[in-house]
Amino acid sequence: MENFDLTTKNKILQNLKQDIFPEINPFKFLPRLFFIHAAATAFVMAFCPQFGLGLFAQGHYGLTSLFMQVSHEFCQMACGAFLTLVSFSAIWFPLKVTEKEWLMSHKYIFAGILLSITSGFFWMQAPDIHLAEFALWIVGSLAALASAGQLQFHQKNI
C-alpha cells in the first residue's frame, strides 16, 4: 500500500469496512416484517381465534377446542404463544444474516412494537376484552419470545 496515495488507501479501507461491517437500514426491511407478521396473524387466526376474532367463525374450533380442554386461562396463554411463535418463525426465516443480527441486537424494542401493534389491533376489534384475559395473552406471548430468543442463542453458540 506504499505506492497508493491517501485517497486510494481510504477508498480501499472504506470498501473493506463495508464488506466486513455492512450498514443496515432497518427502514428497508422492517415494513416487510410487519407485513409478514400480519399475514402470519391471519394464518394463525384461521386455526386459533384470538379473543373471539377468527377468519372463518367465532366459535370454538381448531386449536381453541384443544386449548380450552385444559382451561380458559391456558387457552389465552397458548393462543398468545402460538401466534407469537408462528409470527417469529415467519419473520425469521426470510431475513439475511445481517438483518438477523440487527434484529437480535434490537429484539426488545422490536418485540415491544410488534406486541403493541398486535395488542392494539385486538383491543380495537374486541373492546370487551377483559384485562385478565389480555394479561394472560401477553404472558404467553412473552414466554414464546423468551423461548425463541433462547433457541437463537443456543443455535448461535453451537
Prediction pTM value: 0.71
Roughly what angle, to the nearest 10 degrees, separates helices 107-125 and 26-47? Answer: 50
The pLDDT, as a whole number, for residue 38 is: 86
pLDDT of 80 > 60? The answer is yes
The DSSP secondary-structure symbol of 106 reads T
More confident residue, 52 or 73: 73
- Is 152 a residue whose pLDDT tops 60? no
Tell me the domain boundaries of the chain.
27-157
More confident residue, 24 or 117: 117
Q: What is the pLDDT of residue 2?
A: 61
pLDDT of residue 124: 78
Q: Output the CA–CA distances (angstroms, integers) from residue 126 to 19, 37, 140, in the order listed.
A: 48, 19, 19
Residue 151 has pLDDT above 70, yes or no: no
Q: Mean pLDDT across the chain, nearest whole number?
A: 78
CA-based nearest residue to 148, from 117, 107, 96, 105: 107
